[in-house]
């Protein structure tokens, strides 16, 4: 029989290098080293061993934390060596028993989070002057090689043993789903026939052929390994400018929680479990930093950074730990001046901390775009949809705007809406909304500094704008209808509709993830009683339904 999916164990997304079980982060001048040495007994839940540097969600949470700390706490770092701590093994990829015994939803969210972490490495390279060297001291399989190709350069040990491989198709009946196939075609630009051969050879490719096919950038014998790694890391670092000498320490994001609520300082979640929805409210403070120097002095306490770290934690919690919640009702509140002041500081050039915070906000907004929950912006009394606040509304599937002069609300634009936070498709959320009528984007940006419900509706920012008489009933019916639909159908529909416009490597990754992982991970050839994923590591051989779709 197929393995029974393990019940969901809550995932915690807050950690610190002092508590890492699987990674060691060290800094020497402007070069950081991340050593992957996975604790076999340190899995996120019981029931599997993390052998051969295989990983689960806990390993990736630590990696994401490390990358974030390098960007904020160590702006002096210009290159990062990512290597393995085991002899002749870099990383064996995602742990198979973990995948086999996880619920389908957990598997998909795990792959999505892993993808987002890989993209975070690439964003650090593109926007923070932090270059990554994958120093493959041994074999890199599946997700291990996918981590490598998220780096800027790949150096492989030339020891007649170390190889790179994608064994998912031949061994597991699934696919390299954390961006693997997309990156070898779109990023490393391998020939199609080489991609085909590589992705079906379980033992992988090693040595000179790996270099010839552009699977790696170079090889080095063990006798010169340490020397070559240092040379490559030095070369990467020297090509980047110095951002700053001193960083900003990140403390832990905490919240008060119970069965019905999760309350942070600036973000609040309030659950209606009977209705399967949650109210998510982000509230700006009465005042914030007045200039870049004050923001840097506040550091981790700067409300922008704090609020979006809270939002990031809340979104990850909803994905992994609240699978029955299907609809998020989102509100933005707080003084208009706080939103405007925040955007003015984030748009500053030449200030490393403001720039780094801007890229972090961009990443969290992308996390919102990618979250498989229905999103409704509830623009009712007292809500403030200005600048970055408006981005939250534009990320939603629908926008409900209360048209009632006695209960005013506020809309407004800023530099934030002019492309400061591009989506995965490379466009602003306004440009994506008005793909067919681009003149509307200019019209919205040219509107008064702030405006109310009527003008918001006229500008196309409202999906529906009920008056005071109809508001309660229309909103209630919209919520009841949405939560009655099939969550599977909603996830597929939303993933298609949220990424209109140009296709990029990033949209391909998440588009294919939705199709591949939601389909192939459920097919009998993978997870049936004699499916490849079910049989892997057992005496049983997989049996395939040979009919092609």
Beta bridge partners of 329: 279, 376
Alpha-carbon span 226 to 476, nearest angstrom? 63
Angle value at C-alpha 175, between 173 and 179, nearest 5 degrees: 170
Task: Show the tokens assigned to 415.
Answer: 């530099």
End-to-end C-alpha distance for the chain, whole angstroms: 25
Among 424, 430, 322, residue whose Cα is nearest residue 367: 424
Interval 483-536: pLDDT, tens? 999 998 898 889 889 889 999 999 998 887 766 666 788 889 988 999 998 999
Alpha-carbon span 104 to 521, nearest angstrom? 7
Interval 111-123: pLDDT, tens? 999 999 999 999 9
Angle value at C-alpha 75, between 71 and 76, nearest 5 degrees: 135
pTM score of the predicted model: 0.96
Interval 445-483: pLDDT, tens? 999 889 999 999 999 999 999 999 999 999 999 999 999
pLDDT of residue 515: 65
Among 93, 88, 71, residue whose Cα is nearest residue 80: 71
CATH 3.40.800.20 is right for the domain spanning 256-493: no
Q: Assess whether the region 17-238 and the region 256-493 belong to the same CATH fold.
A: yes
The CATH H-level (homologous superfamily) assignment of domain 17-238 is: 2-enoyl-CoA Hydratase; Chain A, domain 1 (3.90.226.10)
What does the domain layout of the chain look like in residue ranges?
Answer: 17-238, 256-493
On the question of pLDDT at 2 being above 60, the answer is no
On the question of pLDDT at 169 being above 80, the answer is yes
Angle value at C-alpha 378, between 375 and 381, nearest 5 degrees: 165
Determine how many CB atoms are found less than 10 A away from the CB of residue 297. 13
Place of tokens 């809550």: 10
Task: Show the tokens assigned to 465.
Answer: 């704008």
Under the banding of pLDDT at 50, 70 and 90, the label for residue 268 is very high
| CA 348 vs CA 68, 111, 220: distances in Å | 21, 34, 43
Please state whether beta strands 205-206 and 218-220 pair in parallel, antiparallel, or not at all (unpaired). unpaired
Query: Residue 90, SS3?
Result: strand
pLDDT of residue 448: 84
Interval 384-416: pLDDT, tens? 999 999 999 999 999 999 999 999 999 999 999
Determine how many CB atoms are found less than 10 A away from the CB of residue 17. 14
């Amino acid at each position: 029989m197929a393995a029974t999916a393990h019940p969901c164990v809550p995932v915690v997304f807050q950690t610190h290098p002092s508590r890492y079980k699987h990674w060691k982060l060290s800094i020497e001048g402007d070069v950081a080293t991340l050593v992957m040495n996975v604790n076999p007994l340190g899995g996120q839940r019981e029931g599997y061993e993390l052998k051969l540097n295989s990983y689960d969600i806990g390993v990736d949470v630590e990696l994401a934390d490390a990358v974030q700390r390098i960007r904020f706490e160590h702006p002096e770092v210009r290159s990062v060596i990512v290597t393995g701590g085991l002899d002749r093994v870099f990383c064996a990829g995602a742990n198979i028993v973990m995948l086999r015994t996880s619920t389908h939803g957990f598997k998909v969210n795990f792959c999505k989070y892993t993808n987002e972490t890989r993209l975070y490495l690439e964003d650090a390279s593109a926007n923070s002057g932090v270059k990554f060297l994958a120093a493959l001291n041994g074999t890199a399989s599946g997700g291990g090689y996918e981590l490598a190709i998220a780096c800027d350069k790949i150096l492989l040990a030339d020891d007649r043993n170390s190889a790179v491989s994608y064994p998912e198709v031949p061994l597991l009946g699934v696919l390299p789903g954390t961006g693997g196939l997309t990156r070898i075609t779109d990023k490393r630009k391998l020939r199609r026939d080489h991609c085909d051969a590589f992705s079906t050879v379980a033992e992988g490719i090693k040595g000179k052929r790996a270099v010839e096919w552009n699977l790696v950038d170079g090889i080095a014998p063990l006798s010169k390994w340490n020397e070559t790694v240092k040379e490559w890391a030095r070369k990467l670092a020297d090509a980047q400018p110095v951002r700053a000498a001193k960083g900003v320490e990140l403390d832990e994001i905490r919240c008060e929680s119970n069965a019905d609520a999760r309350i942070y300082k600036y973000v609040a979640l309030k659950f209606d479990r009977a209705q399967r929805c949650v109210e998510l409210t982000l509230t700006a403070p009465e005042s914030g930093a007045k200039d870049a120097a004050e923001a840097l002095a506040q550091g981790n306490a700067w409300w922008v950074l704090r609020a979006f770290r809270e939002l990031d934690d809340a979104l990850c919690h909803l994905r992994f730990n609240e699978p029955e919640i299907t609809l998020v009702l989102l509100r933005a509140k707080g003084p208009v001046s706080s939103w405007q002041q925040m955007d003015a500081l984030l748009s500053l050039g030449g200030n490393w901390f403001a720039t780094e915070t801007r890229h972090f906000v961009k990443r969290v907004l992308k996390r919102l775009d990618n979250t498989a929950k229905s999103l409704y912006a509830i623009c009712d009394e007292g809500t403030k949809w200005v600048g970055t606040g408006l981005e939250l509304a534009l990320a939603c599937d629908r926008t409900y705007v209360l048209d009632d002069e006695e209960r005013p609300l506020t809309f407004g634009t800023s530099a934030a809406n002019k492309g400061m936070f591009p989506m995965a498709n490379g466009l602003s959320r306004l440009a994506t909304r008005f793909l067919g009528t681009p003149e509307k984007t200019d019209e919205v940006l040219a509107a008064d500094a702030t405006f109310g419900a009527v003008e918001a509706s006229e500008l196309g920012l409202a999906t529906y704008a009920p008056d005071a008489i109809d508001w309660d009933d229309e909103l209630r019916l919209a919520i009841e209808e949405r939560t009655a639909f099939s969550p599977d159908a909603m996830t597929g529909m939303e993933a298609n509709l949220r990424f209109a416009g140009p296709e990029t490597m990033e949209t391909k990754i998440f588009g294919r993830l939705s199709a591949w992982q939601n389909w192939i991970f459920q097919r009998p050839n993978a997870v049936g009683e004699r499916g490849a994923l079910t049989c892997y590591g057992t005496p049983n051989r997989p049996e395939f339904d040979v009919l092609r779709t």
